[in-house]
Amino acid sequence: MNLLHSRWRWAAVAALVAVVVLVGRWWLADGSGKHDDSERAIPVVTAPVRVGPVIETYGAIGTSTANEAIVVTAKVTGLVRSIGFNEGETVPAGRTLVELDSRELKANLLAAQADVRNARQTYERTVKLAKSQNAPQARVEELQAGLEAAEARAEATRARLADMTIVAPFAGKLGLRRISVGTLIQMGTMITTLDDTSIVKMDFSVPETLLAAVAPGQTVEVRTDAYPDRRFTGKVKTIDSRIDPATRAFDVRAEIPNPDGTLKPGMLLTLELTLARREAAILVAEEALVPQGDKQYVFIVEDDRARRREVGIGTRMKGVVEIRSGLDASAVVLIGGTERVRDGTRIRAPNQEGQDQSPNGNRKPVKGTAPAS
């Protein structure tokens, strides 16, 4: 029994010595009693934030309309006597387009003018007689009413005669001719179309969350599949005074100069509205973002350790995100290996060949859509 107790005592002593040795080695490993964990630094990929211009845009599609557009029609019934335009011609305002046969109306006007002269002469003679008490005042008033009626009939005939000549109300380009000389046209008969396309309008909807960001005078860039290599630049002209309660959006009208007539009414256009331009925005690679719930974080490099920072994001671009708050221009962020680190983790970032270490290395403006609210 004594021998067995002796063996247990020696085993306990040996185990205690082994523990002491291991603790001593750990305590004295770096000469200061601290554990050297440099070998356990997590390899990551880092990049400095970039400072550069950001253009915040909003995209929309719509249909082009002419600045002014009408269907040229007749106001009266008549026989086409002459046509004064060619199809597709650009005409100035006031240009005579069609003349209808007006011989009967001209004769009626001559007769009405003669009635006016006779009524005026009779009225003037009666006024002189009334002054000498040779005509009653009631007769003077009767003749005055007759004169005014004759003048009104003459004016009505003159207006009908003017309607027999159809003119362009504004400058523009004419469409196809729908009538011929000798055609008997009725009131409302389509003659041709007239479009002023020196300016093209485009109406589009914008969410009410962007109401404060939209203002007249902002630049729009327009594209169309008909001319894929061209860009057309215009301005916001008008913002509707109401917001649609069903869609929670408001209408905006843009005007695009079109001096060469390239854009036609009815074309499908893709529009990009410039909402804001920030010249010194802080930009990071999209891979740097670490989302948690409804918040966004990045890890920055600080004394060879990863430090988590909450950030506020702005415009998103292709592969790049604007940081509105939480970072400064001198920060270096993790863009690779973030899934293996936590706040305070020791990290090791190998030099990246060809990596631009200048935070202002690229000053080319980048475009992105407005952030969702």
Q: Per residue in 21-47, pLDDT tens? A: 454 554 444 444 444 444 488 899 999
pLDDT (mean) for 164-189: 93
For the segment 1-22, the average pLDDT, to the nearest whole number, is: 52
Q: Which of 2-11, 133-142, 174-183, 346-355 has the highest mean pLDDT?
A: 174-183
Neighbours of 135 (CB within 10 A): 16
Q: What is the mean pLDDT of residues 53-78?
A: 92
What pLDDT score was predicted for residue 8?
Answer: 53
Q: Would the pLDDT of 20 be above 90?
A: no
pLDDT attached to residue 56: 85
User: Among residues of the chain, what percentage have pLDDT more than 90?
Assistant: 62
pLDDT at 100 over 60: yes
pLDDT at 57: 87
Q: Find out if CATH 3.30.390 is the number for domain 102-163.
A: no
pLDDT (mean) for 2-26? 52
Residue 3 pLDDT > 90, yes or no?
no
pLDDT of residue 315: 84
What's the pLDDT band for 210 if we cut at 50, 70, 90?
very high
Q: What's residue 354's pLDDT?
A: 36
Q: What is the DSSP letter of 372?
A: P
Predicted confidence at residue 15, as pLDDT, reads 55
Q: Which pLDDT value is given to residue 339?
A: 87
Residue 293 near residue 267 (C-beta atoms within 8 A): no
Helix (H, G, I), strand (E, B) or coil at 317: strand
How, if at all, do strands 184-185 and 78-83 pair? antiparallel
Alpha helices per DSSP H over 49-136: 103-131
Q: What is the Cα–Cα distance from 50 to 332, expressed in whole angstroms?
A: 10
User: Given pLDDT bands bounded at 50, 70 and 90, which one contains residue 116?
Assistant: very high
Taking 3-state DSSP, the helix, strand and coil percentages for the chain, each rounded to the nearest 5, stand at 25, 40, 35
The predicted structure's pLDDT at residue 146: 92
| CATH 2.40.420.20 for the 38-54+278-368 domain, yes or no | yes
As a whole number, mean pLDDT of residues 345-365 equals 57
Lowest mean pLDDT among 24-28, 274-278, 307-311: 24-28
Predicted confidence at residue 180, as pLDDT, reads 94
Q: What is the DSSP string of 177-223?
A: ----TT-EE-TT-EEEEEEEEEEEEEEEEEEGGGGGG--TT-EEEEE
Q: What is the pLDDT of residue 6?
A: 54
Average pLDDT of the residues of the chain? 85
How far apart (Å, rounded) are the C-alpha atoms in residues 223 and 63? 12
Give the pLDDT confidence score for residue 337 in this predicted structure: 87
Joined together, the tokens standing for residue 267 give 């074309």
Check residue 334 and give its pLDDT. Answer: 92
User: In which band, very low, low, confident or very high, does the pLDDT at 14 lie, cut at 50, 70 and 90?
Assistant: low
Question: Is the predicted pLDDT of residue 356 greater than 80, yes or no?
Answer: no
Query: Taking the complete model, does pTM exceed 0.75, yes or no?
Result: no
CA-closest candidate to residue 322, choices 283, 275, 354, 278: 283
Residue 279 binned pLDDT confidence (cut-offs 50, 70, 90) = confident
Residue 129: the pLDDT is 86
Range with the poorest average pLDDT among 7-11, 106-110, 114-118, 158-162: 7-11
Identity of the residue numbered 366:
V
Domain spans of the chain, in order of start: 1-36, 38-54+278-368, 102-163
Is residue 80 predicted with pLDDT exceeding 90? yes
